Structure 1
Amino acid sequence: MPGRDPRGETLLRWMIAFTVIVGVILLLRLWAARLMRRSFYLDDLFVLIAFASTITFEGVAVWAIDNGAGKPQADLTPEELAIQAKILVLPSSIAWLVGTVAIKFSVLWLYTRIFSTRSFKNWSYSLMALVACYFVAFLAVFMTICKPIDQLWNPVPWGSCRDTSDQEFTSISFNLVVDLAIFVLPMPWLWGLKMPLRNKIAISVMFSIGLVTIGVMCWRLAATKDSIAHPDASYHTTDIALISLLELWLGMIVASIPTLAPLLQRYVKPVITKVTMHSSGSRYPQNQYKLSNYKESHSSRRYKNIDTTNSQYDVKIYANDLQGSTQGLAITTECTHDPVIEPPRDIPTPGQIHVRRDIESQNW
């Protein structure tokens, strides 16, 4: 189109690519939820709100690109300047604000589902309250940049607009600190869990992907400083829009990665297992045995009275000891789709052993 600048065309290509990527990841997130047959949680809702806000931001950005965003302000017509002013004052700012806040709520609510420790949940709720206060405060700030609100594109003699540089730095700095706190928050609890070291490292790396968004915000701080030093709102629009959208895109990806584990377990892990078995020349993976080939070495020990009628898949086994008397030992196993997220349904009573493990089923 004649009004588009090459820098605006570049921004448009970025938007198309990342909208498809993020859309696919969110569909995978919903697929994983359906696969687990779990409820639709609040963190799912918040990430969808963030996606809707991002689409709104992108629509506004397309409007700006079609009206010369990226060109020097001196090359724009009065009508294009008015449109750029309308975009900068309200729609883009509010869409970005709603998107970033929704992403933070999504991650923090996911934390409360993963970690059951009361002190951890209290920290998560405290951060949610802080983010909510930030949202209310900056929504008011963005709504009152100009008095009247249309002063930039429909000026009146008694109207005025304030300098936005201070609020830009304050908003970006707050988001930087909160995102860093969200990244650091689960680490002490994670490394205090009794699990293999490789699992702790893998989960830490997964959470560390959030550092990418912190790097993007540092980039935005530098870009904001540069735009203030060289004030040409239209010329810097495409740069600021790209960085702001990257923050939203990457934030939604980071918030969704932990929820994709069921898909990896169902579709990716079996493929890796088969490839590993094929390369090692073994029919069965290491430390896995076919139950039909396993025989109890003590012929005097027998198992009976297996009750599988319990709706929670509890199995009670009464074993005869070597002298033939019946022990009252009860072993209860609970099969659940996600042992990390959901707490045990039953609290073990004295005289019982409560076993909770992931169980992988394969057809031989």
Structure 2
Amino acid sequence: MASSHPYSAINTINLATQCLCIPIVSIFVALRFYVRFRFRMGLGAEDCKFFASGGLGIVSSIIVALEANLGYLALDACAVAWALFIAYCAIGIVLGQNGGGYHFDELTPDEQTNFKKFTWISTIIYCPMALCVKIALLAILTRIFAPYRGKVWFIYILLAGLCIYYTIALVIKIRICNPVSLYWQGTKEEIEDSCLDQRAAFLADAVISAISDMVILVLPLPLTWSLQMSRNRKLRVIGILGAGGLATGFSIYRVVLVSRDQESYDLSMFFIRVIMSGNAEAGIGLVCACLPTVNILISHYRKASSSKRYDSSNSLVQMRARKSPHPAHSASHVSTIHDYESQTDHSHFTTASGALHGIEPVRTEDRT
């Protein structure tokens, strides 16, 4: 066990990362589901249909069947990604307990075997987790900008490409060795003879993630800038939609990490860093996928608070109007309050983000 080794900063950082990621991401996902149940919204069938249309074989068929039979309780990509993310974090903790963050040659034979075994499991979980996070983010854009069919088609093509890639990557990682047990039981020579190049798979994952995250970061710019709204409002929309692309930095870090250490056989030091970069990428993506629905909740309570202030002010004005000899002035005051209420009723991004959940998508005069 890791407790038998001297102190390791990387091992401690890994444990802290996993313990922080689980509650933080879970809170945002819980808020997402609370908003959907609170405002009687469906559970994201549009997210699920992308997952089903792209592949992952039997899993996609199961989700389609669940969507058809459970209706309102249909699974969505965000929920699937969250479940996989929790499993990914749990494996990160187990890897730390089996020597993650220590030099590989310092581990006992049992620790080395267990570390390799859970490393293989984490690579299997990563593929559908990363795919579902990206589906959840891109589904927001396809729903909001549905009227712009020419531009949205690019997102559909990107989604199809991601589904194809991660399906192939999943199959390769499942059968990376023949037999699979050689991955954690084989000698260095046996692994070189009977296993595929794992670091090449890591590098491909990192490159695909970096490119797709960059697209998610940049794509809202041209789509949103053509909308008929104020510049400040455009910037807010771009900020919410592009936030998921913040994971780009961690994807690029993983590209550098894999490229730099690809000849290193210190697996326990190398892979624990890969795990934490995956935590950052998926965790940030999940939080950002929940931001639009959290924004709906904030806007709802702001509107409720504004309505209470308006009702209170209106009641006070009406009481004064009964006593005032100048009803025309009172009527003008009521009209002013009504105009103010009408202006503050805009929720900046509620209409746009709400389109993901059944509210009308944004519209402009210039559709392409």
TM-score scaled to structure 2, two decimals? 0.71
Tell me the SS of whatever aligns to 2:129: helix
Q: 2:331 aligns with which of 281, 287, 294?
A: 294
Q: Distance in 2 between matches of 1:110 and 1:184?
A: 14
Cα distance, 1:242 vs structure 2: 1.0
Give 1:201's aligned residue.
235
Q: Which has the higher helix share?
A: 2
Give 1:359's aligned residue.
none
Tell me: CA distance 1:343–1:154, structure 2 relative to 1, closer, same or farther (3 Å). closer
- For the pair 1:47 / 2:110, whether they are aligned, the reply is no
Q: Distance in 2 between matches of 1:344 and 1:87?
A: 45
Does the Cα contact within 8 Å between 2:78 and 2:289 map onto a contact in 1?
A: yes
Map of 1:261-280 to 2, 5 A cutoff?
Answer: 261-268=295-302
Q: Distance in 2 between matches of 1:338 and 1:206?
A: 11
Q: Which has the higher strand share?
A: 1
The answer for unaligned runs of 5 or more in structure 1 is 278-282, 285-289, 297-336, 346-364
Does the Cα contact within 8 Å between 1:3 and 1:67 map onto a contact in 2?
A: no
Q: Distance in 1 between matches of 2:162 and 2:248?
A: 16
- For the pair 1:129 / 2:166, whether they are aligned, the reply is no
Does the Cα contact within 8 Å between 1:82 and 1:152 map onto a contact in 2?
A: no
Give 1:18's aligned residue.
21
- For the pair 1:155 / 2:156, whether they are aligned, the reply is no
Cα distance, 1:34 vs structure 2: 2.5
Give identity over the alignment, percent.
21
Tell me: CA distance 1:105–1:294, structure 2 relative to 1, closer, same or farther (3 Å). same
RMSD, aligned CA: 3.1
Q: Distance in 1 between matches of 2:157 and 2:295?
A: 27
Q: Residue deviations 1:130-175, cap 9 Å, x none?
A: 1110111101221232121111333386962232222222221112
Does the Cα contact within 8 Å between 1:35 and 1:262 map onto a contact in 2?
A: no
Q: Distance in 2 between matches of 1:59 and 1:49?
A: 16
- For the pair 1:36 / 2:39, whether they are aligned, the reply is yes
**Aligned residue identity for 1:21:** I
Q: 2:144 aligns with which of 107, 114, 118?
A: 114
Does the Cα contact within 8 Å between 1:3 and 1:68 map onto a contact in 2?
A: no
Map of 1:81-230 to 2, 5 A cutoff?
Answer: 81-89=112-120, 91-117=121-147, 118-155=149-186, 160-230=194-264
Tell me the SS of whatever aligns to 1:85: helix
Deviates most, 101-110 or 36-45: 36-45
Q: Distance in 2 between matches of 1:338 and 1:242?
A: 33
**Aligned residue identity for 2:16:** R
Give 1:239's aligned residue.
273
Map of 1:266-345 to 2, 5 A cutoff?
Answer: 266-268=300-302, 293-294=330-331, 339-340=351-352, 341=355, 342=358
The answer for unaligned runs of 5 or more in structure 2 is 48-74, 322-329, 334-348, 362-368
Cα distance, 1:114 vs structure 2: 1.3
Rg comparison, structure with higher value: 1
Q: Distance in 2 between matches of 1:294 and 1:188?
A: 45
Tell me the SS of whatever aligns to 2:183: coil
**Aligned residue identity for 1:76:** L
Q: Residue deviations 1:78-108, cap 9 Å, x none?
A: 111111111222x101111111100111112
**Aligned residue identity for 2:82:** F
Q: Distance in 1 between matches of 2:230 and 2:304?
A: 21
Report 1 or 2 for greater relative contact order, CA contacts < 8 Å, sequence distance ≥ 6: 2
Residue correspondences, number? 293
